[in-house]
Structures are given as structure tokens and as C-alpha cells.
Structure 1
Amino acid sequence: MGKILNTKGAAIFFLTAITAIWGWSFVIVKESISFYPVFSFLAIRFLLGAIVLFFFIGSKIFLFEKKLWLSGFLLGVFLFSGYAFQTTGLIYTTPAHSGFITGLFVVFTPLLETLILKRKPHFLLVFSLVLSTSGLFILSYEKDFGSLNYGDFLSLICAIIYSFHIVFLDRFSKKYNTLYLAFLQVITVSLLSFASLFLLGSRLLPIPAISIRGVILTGLLATAFSYFIQTNYQRLTSATEAALIFTLEPVFAGLFAYYLWGEVFSSKIFVGGTLILLGMLISQGRFYFDKKEKTGVVDENKI
């Protein structure tokens, strides 16, 4: 059983599962921050997630080496910055623009993976990126999509930051205990959210009753569980493949919004989602062309 859970197939399954959780949580988060300030929500959500993860660590935290602390902190900074730029960008742009431009992390990730990790992309991955990016555009397209603004620029920075997070997580998760690494990045996001409240002259507000469910569900499932799973299983695949899987988030968000909240399931969701799914599936076809990867272990010089 242990060997099965430590394979590339298991990695794809679990990364897809947490992408579904993030898609499911999208509506819950949107509902919660309508009544509770964003940085207060992030501070409490990630604090709850950190507490849950710390329960499995306990006194072992005193054994953490300096490089582990620094690696976890850097990942947390990337993650927090991504949330901050995306949230701020939404003030100045539309959700459609934000969704598409933020989703461009699927394009930036292979570029950074080539530059930082020195891995050359397989031609099928390049084709998959084109399909997934096209799917994202269809999902996000609106009649006035051609006009860009300041919020779009912030969303672009967010996409680049998320790409850095995915690539550096790929590197660090192969070096350090994944539970410890997940805890450190989650607690860093919480602490930076508390610091942001202070710097913005705000204060932590009591959680309104309508947002309590959202804080608990996202803290447990979308934070503690999901970021541990991402940290633990992304090491078994490449950063680019992980990015391709994560592009399914808006598709899952649309599906859950349709089934649970009765929102319209549009043709955009169907067509865009199909292209993204095809991109993810085609990316796996490269293993038929590379005998070196039949064992499911990623070649460090090729993605």
C-alpha cells in the first residue's frame, strides 16, 4: 500500500483532489470575505491550519534546522504575496480578468522550471500548456476582455509569484520533511496576514457567525490538509505538471457552484474545462516517449 501511495499516479490523484477542494472552497471563501475582511480571514484561516499541522509535529519543531526554517519561510512569503496581489487586483479589475491572468502561472512555471531547475520541457507538455491556456481564456472571456488596467498588472504579478511558489516547492519538498515544510509555509502566511493588519492600521475583528463555517472548513481542508498534500505529492511530479493540474481549479469551482449552489453551468465552463482536462491528460502521454520515466520518477533534467 505504501508503494502505491508513493507513485506518480498517486501524486496526480491527490493533487487533483486538492485542486477540487480549492475549487469547492472558492464560493465559501467568496461568501466569507463578503462579511469578514480579507487579511483577518487569511490570518485566522492559516492560523487554524498551522495549529492542526503543529499537532502532528509537537516538540520536533525544536529540531528544525536553519535551512528548513528559511525554506518554509520563503514558500510562505510567495504564498502570502500571491494571495495579497490577487486580492488587491480584484479591487481594480473583473473576476474574469483576474481568473485568466492569475491562471497564467501555468505558462510561467515551465519557464522558471527551465531557468531555476534546469529541466527541459517535453514537446507534449508545451502542447498541453497551449490547450490549458486556451481553456483558461475561454473560461474567463467577456465582451470587454480587451481592456487592461492596473488590477490586471497586479494579477500578472500574482501569477508570477505563484509560479515561483510551485517551482521552489518542487525543489524544497525533495530535500526536507514535507509535513514540517507545509507547517512552516502555512504559519508564515498567517503571521504575515497579522502583520498586514497592523501595517494597514486595522485590527483583527471577531469572526461573524456567517463566516465561522468558512474559516473552519478552509482552515482544515483547503489549508492544513491541502497544503500538506501539495507539499508531499508535488515532489513526485514536475512543477509544470502540477501547474497543469492546478488549472482545473476554476473548472471544479464552476461544477460545485452548479451542483451545490444552483449556478448556471455555461458552455464556457464545459468547453474551457474540456480543453484544460485534455491538456492535463496529454501531458501524461510523454511517458510513452521516454523509457527513463517508466518507474514514475521524474528525470531531473527533463520535465
Structure 2
Amino acid sequence: MSTLESGAGERTPDGGRAASDTSTGERVVGVRTLLPLFSLVAVTAVWGGTFVVVKDAVSQAPTMDFLAMRFLIATAALAALRPSRVTTLSRAGVKRGILLGMALGVAYIAQTFGLEHTSASLSGFITGMLVVFTPVIAGLVLRQRIGKVTWTAVAIAVAGLGLMTVHEFAVGPGELLTLVCAVFLALHIVGLGVWSPGHDAHALTVVQLAVAACICFAFGWWDGIDLPSDGGFWLALVGTAVIATAAAYVIQTWAQARLSLPQAAVVLTLEPVFACIFGVVFDHDELTTRIVIGGALVVGAMYLAELRSGSR
């Protein structure tokens, strides 16, 4: 059966498929998906934590300048760490990395400009709609049937995100740009799911981040790159570049070679949940009942997308 649900948990660590026609086989496959699953959860926790850091950093410098330098430092750090890995990437891998980087760069730029015309909470909700677009795009591009359990998990995740973030809804240029961001993030997730199993995660990530850096520089260079000399700003910039960008995208690329597209999409909706947690702990945001219930729904959606049946 060629469904998005049936593909979940079937990839082995080397990107192949594992047979699971016995209960023992199903348990082995389930264990093999735990490490990439929790690794991707850790990535969303890091991204959620950066909201507090980045909010302070971009108040001191133009957002596009910050993004351009963030991607540039991340690319340089990864390339310097394992320079030989990049040269081993095949021509097909380079082309795919370029396409993935373009999707990533456009998503960040659309979200950045969208934030100038909409609230952060509504931006978070619309960006989280990638959980809807991912199975739809996968179904159209890969011609795979979207299962009922997948749609159930998607609906629960969207309801949880909406409960957490949406206080009032309006459609304007900011919302439309953020919707573009969600579509391109979904394209990035689908592309990683299809292409990452056949390529080195480190090398593929370097190409992605380099392309994203070039795109951000193209948008920020026209009025010059203007960054402050403040030590706290550069600590935030380097920290987000090395940890939340370089390391995080290597882990995401590696994990998505071992998870299904619906699993990855639903797990990534945990980012606003962690953002709320860090906001409450470090930025003194109010912890409301809406946030608690909404976060529980998103976590429940992730659980449903991972397990899918009582035998797993």
C-alpha cells in the first residue's frame, strides 16, 4: 500500500526500507524511529528557544542582515568542520541541495516580511499550517494517498496551534506572505524526505544553508549590511547560527531520512509549543489555559502521527 501512513517508520538507518510483517519487525522499526523522532523534537525545542533570543537581536539590527549573517556563519562553520564531505556530494546532490536551499531562503524571507504586517502569534499559527501543506504537496507530487489517520493528526495539530496563538484573524499582505512561508517550508520538508536518504546529511546541509545565505544577502545587500558591535548581539548571532541553524539543520536532514513526511511535519509543529514554554520561563509571558490545552493537542497529534496503530 503506497500511503503516507504506511511509509512512516519503515525506513532503516541507511535510508532503506525494513520489512515489518511480524510483530517483532514492527517493534524493531519502532525503536529505530525513536532516535530520529526525538532528535527532531530536540531541534524544535532549540528553534522554539531562539524566539526569545532572536527577538532581542533583531531589535538591534535589520532582520535581513541578521538572517544573512546567520546563514553565512552556519555555512562556514559546517564547511570548516568537515570540508571533505562537501566535495563528495554528487552533482545530483548539489542540485537538490540548491533547490532545498532556495525553498528555505524564500520561506525565511516571506516570514520576515510577513511579520512586518501581522502579529507574531498569528504568524506562528500560519507558519504551523505547514502540517497541512506537507501531506497535500506529498500527495500531489509523489502521488501517494493521504490516509485518514494522517488527516486526523493534522486536524488536531491545527486546532492546537489555533487555540494557542489565534486571538483574532484577518487576511492581509502579512498573512499572505506568511502563508507563502508555510508552503515553502512544506516543500522543504517534502524535498528532504525524498532526497536526504541518498545523500550525506552534512554535505547536503552545507549546500542548503549556503544558498539560503546567498538569497538573504541578495535581499539585505542593497542598503548595506549594518550590524552592531555589541557583544551580546554577536553572542546571539553566533549561537543561533551554530546551534539553531548549522547543527539543527544537519539533524533535521538526518532525521527526515528516517521518518515519514507526516511524522516530520507534525513534530515540527511543536516549535510554537516550545516557544511558548521558553517565553513563559524566560520572557515572563503569561501561561494561559489556551496555551496548555493547545500545546497538549499538538503533542497528542505528534503521538498519533508516530504510533498510528495499537501494534506500534
Do both share a fold (TM > 0.5)?
yes
Give how far 1:16 is off. Answer: 0.3
Indicate the residue corresponding to 1:49 in structure 2: 74
Are 1:18 and 2:43 matched, yes or no? yes
Matched residues in 2 for 1:125 and 1:62: separation? 38
- Post-superposition offset of 1:58: 1.5
- State which of 148, 155, 158 in structure 2 corresponds to 1:123: 148
Spell out, residue by residue over 1:270-292, the C-alpha distance to the aligned partner (whole angstroms, 9 max, x if none). Answer: 01101101111112232446xxx
Tell me, in whole angstroms, the C-alpha distance in 2 between the residues paired with 1:80 and 1:201.
19
**Counterpart residue number, 1:298:** none
1:208 and 1:76 map into 2 onto residues whose CA distance is 30
What's the counterpart of residue 104 of structure 2?
Answer: 79
Amino acid at match of 1:134: A
Work out the CA distance in 2 between the residues paired with 1:129 and 1:102: 14
- The verdict on how the C-alpha distance between 1:106 and 1:60 changes in structure 2, with shifts beyond 3 A counting, is closer
Question: How far 1:8 sits from its partner (Å)?
Answer: 0.7
CA distance in 1, matches of 2:197, 2:309: 21
Whether the aligned pair in 1 keeps the contact of 2:65 and 2:226 (CA below 8 Å) is yes
Give the aligned partner of residue 271 of structure 2.
Answer: 249
Give, in whole Å, the separation in 1 of the partners of 2:220 and 2:98: 19
Three-state SS of the structure 2 residue aligned to 1:191 is: helix
Kindly indicate whether residue 217 of structure 2 is the aligned counterpart of residue 191 of structure 1.
no
**Contact 1:124–1:285 (CA under 8 A) maintained in structure 2:** no
2:284 is the counterpart of 1:262: yes
CA distance change for structure 1 residues 71 and 43 in 2, over 3 Å: closer, same or farther? same
Aligned equivalent of 1:201 = 223
Find the partner of 1:212 among 234, 240, 255: 234
Q: CA deviation at 1:68?
A: 1.4
How many pairs does the alignment contain? 286
Q: Secondary structure at the match of 1:218?
A: helix
| Alignment pair present for 1:137 and 2:162 | yes
Question: Which residue is equivalent to 2:174?
Answer: 151
What amino acid is the match of 2:192? L
> Hey, what's the Cα distance between the residues in 1 that align with 2:156 and 2:132?
11
Distance 1:89 1:43 in 2: 17
Which residue number corresponds to residue 94 of structure 2? 69
| 2:105/2:212 contact within 8 Å kept | yes
In structure 2, the CA distance between the partners of 1:207 and 1:116, relative to structure 1 (3 Å rule), is farther
Task: Point out where structure 2 has 5 or more consecutive residues left out of the alignment.
Answer: 1-12, 15-27
Task: Report the Cα distance in structure 2 between the residues aligned to 1:44 and 1:231, rounded to whole angstroms.
Answer: 21
TM-score, normalised relative to structure 1: 0.89
- Asked if 1:237 is matched to 2:237, the reply is no
Map of 1:275 onto structure 2: 297
- Tell me which residue corresponds to 2:192: 169
Q: Which 5+ residue runs of structure 1 have no aligned equivalent? A: 295-303
Q: Which residue of 2 aligns with 1:301?
A: none
Task: Write out aligned runs for 1:29-40 (5 A).
Answer: 29-40=54-65
- Summarize the Cα distance change of 1:204–1:66 in structure 2 as closer, same or farther, 3 Å threshold: farther
CA RMSD after TM alignment: 2.0
Is 1:222 aligned with 2:244?
yes
State, as a whole percentage, how many aligned pairs show the same letter.
Answer: 31
Q: 1:220 to 1:35 in 2, by over 3 A?
A: same
* In structure 2, distance between residues paired with 1:29 and 1:148: 26
Whether contact under 8 Å (1:35, 1:208) holds in the other structure is no
Q: What code does the residue aligned with 1:39 have?
A: M
CA positional deviation for 1:26: 1.1
Report the CA distance between 1:263 and its aligned residue: 2.1
1:50-92 superposed Cα distances (whole Å, 9 cap, x missing partner): 1221123224433432211111111111111001001101111
C-alpha spacing 1:213/1:168, structure 2 compared with 1 (3 Å):
same
C-alpha distance in 2, partners of 1:138/1:72? 35
